[in-house]
Amino acid sequence: MNDTAPTLGSITSSDAEKRILARRSKAFNLKDRVFCELFPDVVDEIKKDLSETNTAEEATLREEEERLRSAAEPSSSLSSLMSNLIVIAGVVVLAFAVRYMIHAAQEQDSHYK
């Protein structure tokens, strides 16, 4: 099981993927009634391990969420300001383009008269 040599038909996976699958198998084994009946001491260990993992993950998620929230607040007002300035600049450029076209059309009409 722990051998890393490839064999015919085997699937290679990284250590991180193996850890993820092992964590998932713990939760899966807890749902199996036969497993729980055969290994009650292991079930207690798995429950304890899963609860510790869940609390650690929740704490990490809360910290990450708080960090993202604090990092996003100042830049959100800045990005909002930048967006508004870009829109205003676009409207000004469009107004000058229309003004130029009108003046060019008027000059062309005066040459034909």
One digit per residue, pLDDT tens: the chain, 113 residues? 566 777 777 788 888 898 888 888 888 998 999 999 999 999 999 999 989 988 988 989 898 888 877 766 666 677 888 899 999 999 999 999 999 999 988 888 777 66
Q: In terms of residues, how long is the chain?
A: 113
Instruction: Enumerate the domain spans of the chain.
Output: 15-112
pLDDT score recorded for residue 15: 87
**DSSP per-residue codes, 72-96:** HHHHHHHHHHHHHHHHHHHHHHHHH
For residue 74, what are its two tokens? Answer: 């100042």
Crossing angle of helices 15-31 and 40-112, rounded to 10°: 120
Spatial separation of the C-alpha atoms in residues 11 and 84, rounded to whole Å: 53
For the whole model, what pTM was predicted? 0.44
pLDDT of the residue at 88: 98
